[in-house]
Structure 1
Amino acid sequence: MSVDDQQALRAISSRARITATGFTNHYEWGNLKADPTRLLQRYFDLHVYVAMWGYKRLLIRLPRMALSLTDLDAFQLDECDLLEVRQTPEGWLIDIDVEADEEAAWDEFDDGSSWMGALAGLRQELLAGDLRLFYLGWLWAVQLGYVREEALEPLPGIGPLTPSQQALAEFMALDPMLVDAAAESSEKVPAGSEVEGFIASLPLQEKDALLRRLLEGDGSVTAELQRRLRQHCQTEQSPRRSVAELKIQANASHERHRQAYLEEKSRREAEQVAAEEKLRQERVAQAARLGERAWQEVLSQIGRRQPKGYEMAAGLLADLRELAIERGEQAAFEERLNRIVAEHRRKERFLEQLQRLGLLP
């Protein structure tokens, strides 16, 4: 971006951080006084917007030759307006709008600072002919119930996702189990013999034209060749799954994760119970070793007339009760406890501690 371009952008915002490759702004109040799509068409290739109430938007600009209407037909994007792809005089504009999750939007505020770097690779992948971004858009429509159960996936799977595509799945708040189900299968990578066969099928004159475009800096040549290679090998692709099959697979994964969570929770609870029982036994053993001194320590702590002393006295009495139960001496314990309560009946904080530990009704 030229110095003149940067000066033009500065007229839009006096406080934005503007460089030769980017325009970054943060608003506590108000909003950008410009149309992001117009800025994108003139200056940039990518735009990311994140609002504090959870709304997110991603715009990607591509040259005209990077996509074709035939590429897009398979993804049924017209069935859901969450992901829009439109042609402009400058090429293609991909517009992804993510509405706020009402439950999480305010609790998990995202300042948007990390999304640009995480999503930047998507554009280069599209230029290289990787169309899985649109599959994720289709999967988004599936998640929201816009696609019929019998509809087939637009590609035979999407695995393994690139880091940028994984970031996009998170940006869209896609169900991870649904994404994993889609990624368990993948589009067949053309073998060397298939690539050689495709190259051999191109007329010599067309090869010369493609090389000329490549030397002239036409970045869409790679995407065009990748698209045509996929079409050339299409007859040997893996079978495609239905929406219902993907959902069944995702639900099974959810159930496995739920069972794993419950098992882990049960294990942790058992460990906690065992640890508490071991600690209880140690305290009771300590009370047994102290003998009569334990009762003297109870009176000493009460005599401190401090909340901490009352808490320690009540705790020691609880240990003495456990010891009395083990020895079958509950009646003797209750008699001594009642005498202590009667003597200190005006100490409400102490009595509250006894009630907390179940020593008093």
Structure 2
Amino acid sequence: MSEYQYYEFRAIDSALTANQRKYLSSLSSRARVTSHLASYVFNYSDFHGDTEKLMAEYFDAMVYIANWGSRCLMFRLPPAQTAFSMEAIDADTIEPPVPDGLNDLSSAQQALGKYLEIDEAMILVAAQKNGTQPKKVTLEKWIDKLPVPEQRDYLIRLSRGESNLSLLLNKRIQELSSLKSQPQHNGENTDRRTISALIEASKVWYE
């Protein structure tokens, strides 16, 4: 069986400069480089670039796959979102809040689950609690709650074609709405299961 390795990098927040594209092209004669993407295929050699450095300086996401089973998915997060503490996960760890839509995954989300080798039964079991989650906050309900100067700022940035502005606006709306519903968080863990309970439930799913 011949060797196959595939690397794909994506620049989402901003386009690559001409100098950056030139450097990325120099990393391999088989490179495919555009203003927002760089991909590399190898059948008999290895990638000579530094993936972590490229992620830190050029890209927002990377996927790697090899025909012997190795795979890697990386994202670059804003500094404010990387300052979190990693807690050990054991059998008694309480499951996180169930995200909206877990019981109705898109084809792309299902493909991602398979790529990451997430047990389908675990997703199905976790999604059983999906019906208890509050509905998503609608933008129309909260947009008028934003201060007028902030509304104007978003419009100006929209007119300039700022990337991912809709994501930032929706995040701001979520923050605004959560401030109005703080009391609802009391006792939020009372109906959540442990990791061991999820594992046992997923085993039953296959029986």
Same fold (TM over 0.5): yes
Q: 1:251 aligns with which of 189, 200, 205?
A: 200
Give yes or no for the alignment of 1:79 onto 2:87.
yes
Question: Once the 2 structures are TM-superposed, how far is the Cα of residue 12 of structure 1 from its aligned partner?
Answer: 1.7
Structure 1 CA distance for aligned equivalents of residues 149 and 23 of structure 2: 44
Normalised to the residue count of structure 2, the TM-score between the two structures is 0.66
Sort the Cα spacing of 1:152 and 1:19 in 2 relative to 1 into closer, same or farther, 3 A. Answer: closer
The match for 1:24 is: 40
Question: Once the 2 structures are TM-superposed, how far is the Cα of residue 39 of structure 1 from its aligned partner?
Answer: 2.7
The match for 1:338 is: none
The match for 2:49 is: 34
Question: Once the 2 structures are TM-superposed, how far is the Cα of residue 57 of structure 1 from its aligned partner?
Answer: 1.0
Count of equivalent residues: 181
Residue type matched to 1:51 in 2? Answer: A
- The secondary structure found in structure 2 opposite 1:79 is coil
**Structure having the higher Rg:** 1
Give yes or no for the alignment of 1:153 onto 2:96.
yes
Sort the Cα spacing of 1:215 and 1:37 in 2 relative to 1 into closer, same or farther, 3 A. Answer: farther
5+ residue gaps, structure 1, are 81-145, 259-361
The match for 1:163 is: 107
Matched-pair identity in %: 22
- Cα RMSD for the two superposed structures: 3.5
Could you list the runs of 4 or more consecutive aligned residues of structure 1 that deviate by over 6 angstroms after TM superposition?
Answer: none
Normalised to the residue count of structure 1, the TM-score between the two structures is 0.42
Question: Once the 2 structures are TM-superposed, how far is the Cα of residue 54 of structure 1 from its aligned partner?
Answer: 2.6
5+ residue gaps, structure 2, are 1-15
- The secondary structure found in structure 1 opposite 2:42 is coil
Q: Deviations over 1:125-173 (max 9, x none)?
A: xxxxxxxxxxxxxxxxxxxxx2452424144565133333322222222
Q: Deviations over 1:15-37 (max 9, x none)?
A: x24242332221434x2111013
CA contact (8 A) 1:178 1:247 kept: no
Sort the Cα spacing of 1:228 and 1:147 in 2 relative to 1 into closer, same or farther, 3 A. Answer: farther
More helix by share: 1
Give yes or no for the alignment of 1:12 onto 2:12.
no
CA contact (8 A) 1:12 1:33 kept: yes
Structure with larger RCO (C-alpha < 8 A, sep 6+)? 2
The match for 2:3 is: none
Sort the Cα spacing of 1:231 and 1:247 in 2 relative to 1 into closer, same or farther, 3 A. Answer: farther
CA contact (8 A) 1:49 1:56 kept: yes
Structure 2 CA distance for aligned equivalents of residues 2 and 220 of structure 1: 19
CA contact (8 A) 1:150 1:242 kept: no
Give yes or no for the alignment of 1:218 onto 2:167.
no
The match for 1:242 is: 192
Question: Once the 2 structures are TM-superposed, how far is the Cα of residue 55 of structure 1 from its aligned partner?
Answer: 2.5
- The secondary structure found in structure 2 opposite 1:48 is strand
Q: Deviations over 1:51-99 (max 9, x none)?
A: 344321112346x4xx843x985xx6x136xxxxxxxxxxxxxxxxxxx
